[in-house]
């Protein structure tokens, strides 16, 4: 399986983040995993990385849609304002329990979103990402 350097998890469910981190670490999918319960916190962390060490921008972001405060759609709006040369190298995946077909279709229509996956994060999802979205 591909070994990515940095993965961001953005989900307001602590238990879900813990389980995702476990799956990622157990399968040696990434060197570092950072979890955020609030989309605003993740945006602040990304902005700091942009300013201080752009080489540490995550290669993968898993984003939930339904969160208190800033939701996933609002996060994407703000994410678009980050430097394109960095966001182009990052694979943003929606990882959500949303079952509304409109949400799934809309997520997949956004240029920033590589794909939509239903929770929970599984080994199969990691394999798909490694095979389909791995950098050349």
Four-CA torsion 73, 79, 80, 84, nearest 10 degrees? -150
pLDDT number for residue 136: 63
Comparing CA positions, the residue from 92, 53, 56 lying closest to residue 76 is 92
What pLDDT is attached to residue 134? 81
E strand spans, 1-136: 4-10, 30-36, 60-63, 91-96, 113-118
| Cα–Cα–Cα angle for 94, 60, 105, rounded to 5 degrees | 20
Q: What does pLDDT average to over the chain?
A: 94
pLDDT of residue 54: 97
CATH code, 33: 3.40.50.2300
Task: Identify whether 42 is part of a domain.
Answer: yes
For residue 61, the number of C-alpha atoms closer than 13 Å in the C-beta half-sphere is 27
For 29-71, how does the pLDDT look when each residue is reduced to its tens digit (9 = 90+)? 999 999 999 999 999 999 999 999 999 999 999 999 999 999 9
**Structure confidence at residue 98 (pLDDT):** 74
Q: Is residue 73 part of a domain?
A: yes
Q: Is residue 96 part of a domain?
A: yes
83 assigned to some structural domain: yes
Is 5 inside any structural domain? no
Average pLDDT over residues 85-98: 94
- In which domain, by residue range, is 42 found? 12-47+56-133
Q: How far apart are CA 32 and CA 76, in angstroms?
A: 22
Tens digit of each residue's pLDDT (9 = 90 or more) over 5-39? 999 999 999 999 999 999 999 999 999 999 999 99
Flag whether 6 is in a domain: no
The total number of structural domains that make up the chain: 1
Paired strand residues for 96: 118
Is 65 within 8 Å of 92 (Cβ atoms)?
A: no
Is 7 inside a domain boundary? Answer: no
Assess whether pLDDT exceeds 70 at residue 79. Answer: yes
Residue 100 has pLDDT above 90, yes or no: no
**Residue 2: what pLDDT?**
60
């Amino acid at each position: 399986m591909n070994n990515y350097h940095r993965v961001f998890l953005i989900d307001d469910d602590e238990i879900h983040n813990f389980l995702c981190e476990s799956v990622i670490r157990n399968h040696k999918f990434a060197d570092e995993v950072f979890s955020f319960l609030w989309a605003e916190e993740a945006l602040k962390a990304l902005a700091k990385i942009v300013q201080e060490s752009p080489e540490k921008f995550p290669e993968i972001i898993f984003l939930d849609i339904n969160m208190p405060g800033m939701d996933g759609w609002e996060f994407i709006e703000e994410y678009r304002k980050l430097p394109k040369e960095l966001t182009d190298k990052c694979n943003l995946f929606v990882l959500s329990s949303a079952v509304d077909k409109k949400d799934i279709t809309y997520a997949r229509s956004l240029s920033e979103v590589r794909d939509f996956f239903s929770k929970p994060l599984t080994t199969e999802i990691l394999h798909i990402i490694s095979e389909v979205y791995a950098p050349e």
